[in-house]
Structure 1
Amino acid sequence: MLDKGNFQKYILYAIGEIILVVVGILIALSINNWNNNKLDRKAELQIYKNIKSQILDDQVLLNGNIDYNNRYLEQYDFAQQIIAKNDRSKIDTLRKIAFNLYRYSDLNRSSNIYQTIVNSGELKLLKNLSIIERLQRLEESYIYLNRMEEIHFKVILRYVGPGVMDNINLSTGVVDRPDELYSFYMQNLFFFFTEIMNEKDEVYQRTLEQINIITNLIDEELDAEK
């Protein structure tokens, strides 16, 4: 049997062993958590890189659509001036602009970055809440922009025909009904188009702003790891 002194030593030894085991477990858990956090951070940064690559591609498309939209917006403004002045010397210019009513910018951006991240389960890896919020705003801008482009297309289908197809000979380019080309209908049509296109330009600019903000936020995350 153990005497009192040896029993105390045994208890202390046992406690020491338990402490060592617990410390070992805690260290192992700490290392494991550190490794997991490191892997999660690596995955998070890769997601940011993928997002940045995608929205920079969108930025190029947006700038192209802005230029395209503004090119014809200027023409339609000029067409309104021609009609308002009843300047028949510019009938050929007005005819060419009227033909361009069939042209419209169409980004047709349908993919959803935010929803894709949610569905993939990657959202839980993103710790920067500002980036998440801005991605949501970006998707809202895309949805609104797609709606405006759809409206623009429907207006073309419904209203351009009576103003262009019925008054201009497409095979010869000759204006068969000059008075109709200078009518209030055409003036209002050009005005309606400029209103739609001005609103599209505002949405384009807001979308670009969101992209720039997200890009800067992502760059801050990436630079923090250098």
Structure 2
Amino acid sequence: MADDNRPIQYMRYAVGEIVLVVIGILIALQINNWNEARKDKIIEQKVLKTLRSDFKSNKAQLQDNIDETEKMVSDISQLFELFRMTQSELSLIPKDSIRTGFGGYATFNPSDGALTSLLLSGNLNIITNDSLKNKLTNWPNLVNDAKEDENILVEKITKDLAKQELEYQSYINNPKFKLNRLAMFDDLILQNTFFDIRSGANYQIYLYGELQNEIEEILNLIDNEIR
């Protein structure tokens, strides 16, 4: 076409070819981006469903922990009724009916496999909801704060209380040792230890409740994103 002295037609043809190539490339890129976005969305949905399962499990475990810790508080409160009695009053109560401790304590061991994997892999950006992303990022910090107080409470029970109770308890019947279990109710240090444990338990119930509230917000955000 250039040899036939038709440069304008040639330029139009060349520009048209270039435009068609560019359009083709843009369309290909758009299709590729769409496919990648679709794949990411599929992955995000799978991740969200796994996270939902984990957080529902965590919420149920926290409720069990609250129930167990409330029972501990109730048991200790009943012990305080005995601490208020004199030895004469205590002697009138059948020994078999006097409880000198509480059943046990609870610890929170969250199901966090999906979230840990997400955070360690650096793939948190697969979550498109910024509010949810921020809450997921902050969740381990909230758990760690609650676990720190939980560990203090457990140490108070397993070390301080156990050491003091040993003076009044015997796990093996041995006639060589004459233990007065009722004497523990005259022990001011032991009473204060029980008081510290009850205070720590009440605070732990509060912390568990705060974690439950956070989980509820996370679950609501997840449910809004699941299709």
Q: Shorter-chain-normalised TM-score: which range?
A: 0.7 to 0.9
Cross-structure match for 1:134: 135
Q: How does 1:1-226 map to 2 (within 5 A)?
A: 2-4=3-5, 6-86=6-86, 88=90, 89=92, 92=95, 95-96=98-99, 98-100=100-102, 103-109=104-110, 111=112, 114-171=115-172, 176-222=180-226, 225=227
Q: Which amino acid aligns with 1:34?
A: W
* 3-state SS of 1:105 partner: coil
Partners of 1:137 and 1:74 in 2: how far apart? 33
Partners of 1:138 and 1:73 in 2: how far apart? 27
Residues 204 and 2 of structure 1: CA distance in aligned 2, closer, same or farther (over 3 Å): same
Partners of 2:202 and 2:35 in 1: how far apart? 52
Q: Which amino acid aligns with 1:10?
A: Y
Runs of 4+ with >4 A deviation: 89-95, 110-115
Partners of 2:127 and 2:193 in 1: how far apart? 47
- Measured after TM superposition, the shift of residue 42 of structure 1 is 1.5
CA contact (8 A) 2:55 2:215 kept: yes
* Structure 2: gaps (5+ residues): none
Partners of 2:122 and 2:67 in 1: how far apart? 37
- How many residues end up aligned between the 2 structures? 219
* 3-state SS of 1:100 partner: coil
- Bigger relative contact order, structure 1 or 2, given CA contacts below 8 A and separation 6+? 2
Partners of 1:209 and 1:126 in 2: how far apart? 21
Partners of 1:90 and 1:125 in 2: how far apart? 64
CA contact (8 A) 1:113 1:135 kept: no
Partners of 1:118 and 1:76 in 2: how far apart? 41
Partners of 1:31 and 1:210 in 2: how far apart? 39
Partners of 1:94 and 1:185 in 2: how far apart? 23
Residues 68 and 136 of structure 1: CA distance in aligned 2, closer, same or farther (over 3 Å): same
Residues 201 and 35 of structure 1: CA distance in aligned 2, closer, same or farther (over 3 Å): same
Residues 91 and 26 of structure 1: CA distance in aligned 2, closer, same or farther (over 3 Å): farther
CA contact (8 A) 1:106 1:149 kept: yes
- Percent identity over the alignment is 25
Partners of 1:91 and 1:134 in 2: how far apart? 54
Q: Which amino acid aligns with 2:140?
A: E
Partners of 2:56 and 2:62 in 1: how far apart? 10
Partners of 1:92 and 1:141 in 2: how far apart? 44
Partners of 2:13 and 2:214 in 1: how far apart? 63
CA contact (8 A) 1:44 1:125 kept: yes
Partners of 2:81 and 2:208 in 1: how far apart? 26
- Measured after TM superposition, the shift of residue 92 of structure 1 is 4.2
